[in-house]
């Protein structure tokens, strides 16, 4: 993992497996099936990094041979918050390695003219004040959806919030860092730039369309 511009809150997960799979996903000829499978696999690998600092506690257990003190994850279950609809792609992979996580959903669409986020759905688990949250969306592009989603999640007063995306660009990182300097960003790559339609270049196209085969 590295932190560009010495910003310790921006984590680029440059593990060879993640980078190799991301390259396969970017190719325009990648099928819906392989795109989805690769996103799932990358999300599992990213979950490993994102959960690295989860608190642990010691419990006493019995192996077939003797009693021992062993580590388990402490506290209430993590909450994965998916920004609909493309967040589902990351959510599925993360849930396969953190199967006990609770799940929240935020429905946001991007107004094609203003590129601003418009909310149409919001549902979180209970006891948010006692939980750590990971907000997921594959593309951090303008940053408007992520900023709006995190604002809504903050209103539920969770213990902490992290943001995970597959791809971002300098504009998206700057917008999110400015609006929510307390929220670390985890990504597989920071691409060159945003275009005038709010797409990341070189990017991988519309992540939602590629996950669901709706292009
Ligand atoms: N959303 C996408 O799906 N792709 C982009 O490049 C930007 C936003």
Residues 157-194 have pLDDT tens digits of 999 999 999 999 999 999 999 999 999 999 999 999 99
Average pLDDT, the chain: 95
Whether 110 sits among the annotated catalytic residues: the reply is: yes
> In this prediction, does ipTM exceed 0.90?
yes
Predicted pLDDT at 40: 97
Residues 44-101 have pLDDT tens digits of 999 999 999 999 999 999 999 999 999 999 988 899 999 998 899 999 999 999 999 9
Residues 13-48 have pLDDT tens digits of 999 999 999 999 999 999 999 999 999 999 999 999
| Binding-site residue ranges for 5-phospho-alpha-D-ribose 1-diphosphate | 85, 110, 137-145, 206
Predicted pLDDT at 75: 82
Domains of the chain: 6-212 (3.40.50.2020)
Distances (CA, A) of 115 to 14, 80, 164: 29, 25, 20
| Ligand 1, atom nearest to 201 Cα | 6
Indicate the pLDDT class of residue 116, thresholds 50, 70 and 90: confident
CA quadruple 45, 48, 51, 53: dihedral sign:
negative
Is residue 115 scored above 80 in pLDDT? no
Whether 177 sits among the annotated catalytic residues: the reply is: no
Dihedral (Cα; 172, 106, 164, 74), 10-degree rounding: 150
| Ligand 1, atom nearest to 199 Cα | 6
Residue 210: is it exposed, middle or buried by C-beta count within 10 angstroms (0-12/13-18/19+)? buried
**Which residues' Cβ are closer than 6 Å to ligand 1?**
139, 141, 198-200, 203, 206-208
Predicted pLDDT at 1: 77
Indicate the pLDDT class of residue 114, thresholds 50, 70 and 90: confident
142 CA distance to ligand 1 centroid (A)? Answer: 9
Indicate the pLDDT class of residue 112, thresholds 50, 70 and 90: confident
C-alpha–C-alpha distance, residues 65 and 62, integer Å? 7
- Among candidate residues 74, 114, 127, 214, the one labeled active-site is 114
Q: 15 or 112: which carries more pLDDT confidence?
A: 15
Predicted pLDDT at 131: 95
Number of Cβ atoms within 10 Å of the Cβ of 135? 27
Residue 185 C-beta-side C-alpha neighbours within 13 Å: 34
27 CA distance to ligand 1 centroid (A)? Answer: 15
């Amino acid at each position: 993992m590295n932190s560009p511009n010495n910003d310790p809150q921006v984590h680029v997960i440059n593990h060879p497996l993640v980078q190799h799979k991301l390259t396969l996903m970017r190719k325009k000829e990648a099928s819906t099936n392989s795109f989805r499978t690769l996103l799932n696999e990358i999300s599992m690998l990213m979950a490993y990094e994102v959960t690295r600092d989860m608190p642990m506690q010691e419990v006493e257990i019995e192996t077939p041979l003797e009693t021992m003190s062993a580590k388990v994850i402490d506290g209430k279950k993590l909450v994965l918050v998916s920004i609909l609809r493309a967040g589902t792609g990351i959510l599925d992979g993360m849930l396969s390695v953190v199967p006990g996580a609770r799940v929240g959903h935020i429905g946001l669409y991007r107004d094609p003219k203003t590129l601003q986020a418009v909310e149409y759905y919001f549902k979180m688990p209970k006891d948010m004040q006692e939980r750590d949250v990971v907000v997921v969306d594959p593309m951090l592009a303008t940053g408007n959806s992520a900023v709006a989603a995190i604002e809504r999640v903050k209103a539920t007063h969770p213990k902490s919030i992290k943001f995970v995306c597959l791809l971002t660009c300098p504009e998206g990182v700057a917008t999110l860092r400015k609006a929510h300097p307390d929220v670390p960003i985890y990504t597989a790559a920071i691409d060159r730039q945003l275009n005038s339609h709010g797409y990341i270049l070189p990017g991988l196209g519309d992540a939602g369309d590629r996950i669901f085969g709706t292009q």
